[in-house]
A and B are shown apart, each in its own frame.
Chain A
Amino acid sequence: EAGVAQSPRYKIIEKRQSVAFWCNPISGHATLYWYQQILGQGPKLLIQFQNNGVVDDSQLPKDRFSAERLKGVDSTLKIQPAKLEDSAVYLCASSLISYNEQFFGPGTRLTVL
Chain B
Amino acid sequence: AQSVTQPDIHITVSEGASLELRCNYSYGATPYLFWYVQSPGQGLQLLLKYFSGDTLVQGIKGFEAEFKRSQSSFNLRKPSVHWSDAAEYFCAVVHNNAGNMLTFGGGTRLMVKP
Contact residues of A with B, CB < 8 Å? 3-4, 33, 40-45, 48, 55-56, 91, 93, 98-107
* Interface check B100, CB cutoff 8 A: yes
Q: State the Cβ distance, B39 to closest chain A Cβ, in Å.
A: 11
Q: State the Cβ distance, A19 to closest chain B Cβ, in Å.
A: 20
Give the number of chain B interface residues (Cβ < 8 Å).
25
Q: Which residue of the partner chain, among B45, B90, B100, B105, contacts A99 with CB atoms under 8 Å?
A: B100
A4 touches B98 (CB 8 A): no
14 contacts between A and B (CB under 8 A): A40-B106, A40-B107, A42-B104, A45-B101, A56-B98, A91-B44, A98-B99, A99-B96, A99-B100, A100-B49, A101-B46, A101-B49, A104-B43, A107-B43
Q: Which residues of B contact A55 (CB under 8 A)?
A: 98-99
When A and B form their complex, what is the total count of cross-chain residue pairs whose Cβ atoms lie within 8 Å? Answer: 54
**Cα(A106)–Cα(B100), bound, Å:** 23
Q: Which residues of A contact B17 (CB under 8 A)?
A: none
* Interface check B94, CB cutoff 8 A: yes
Given A99-B32, A99-B94, A101-B49, A43–B99 Cβ distance below 8 Å? Answer: no
In addition to A4-B43, A42-B4, 12 A-B residue pairs with Cβ atoms within 8 Å of each other are A3-B43, A33-B102, A40-B107, A42-B105, A42-B107, A43-B104, A45-B102, A55-B98, A99-B32, A106-B41, A106-B42, A106-B43
